[in-house]
Amino acid sequence: MSNEKVVTVTVNGSTVKLATPAHRTLLEALRHEGFVEIKCGCEKGDCGACAVLLDGEPVDSCLTLAWHADGREVTTIKGIGQPGNADPLQKAFIETGAAQCGYCTPGMIIAARSLLKDNPDPSLADVKRGLSGNLCRCTGYTRIFEAVQLAARELRGEGEAA
Is 1 a binding residue for other proteins by CB under 8 A? The answer is yes
Question: Do the Cβ atoms of 122 and 149 come closer than 8 Å?
Answer: yes
Given 11, 12, 18, 25, the residue binding other proteins (CB under 8 A): 25
Select the span of 38-46, 85-93, 94-102, 140-148 touching other proteins (CB under 8 A).
38-46
Minimum distance from residue 23 beta carbon to other proteins (Å): 4
CA–CA dist 103, 109 (Å, integer): 11
User: Is there binding between residue 46 and other proteins (CB under 8 A)?
Assistant: yes
Size of the site for other proteins (CB under 8 A): 35
Residue of 139, 148, 49, 133 lying closest to 96 (CA atoms) = 148
Q: Is residue 81 a contact point for other proteins (CB under 8 A)?
A: no
148 lines the binding site for other proteins (CB under 8 A): no
How many Cβ atoms from other residues are within 10 Å of residue 162's Cβ?
A: 8
DSSP state of 11: E
Question: Which of 38, 92, 99, 111 is in the footprint of other proteins by CB under 8 A?
Answer: 111
> CB burial class (10 A; 0-12, 13-18, 19+) of residue 160?
exposed
* Angle at 77 (CA atoms; ends 39, 138), nearest 5 degrees: 50
Residues forming the site for other proteins (CB under 8 A): 1-2, 21-25, 28, 43-46, 48, 51, 54, 57-60, 62-65, 67-68, 111, 114-115, 129-135
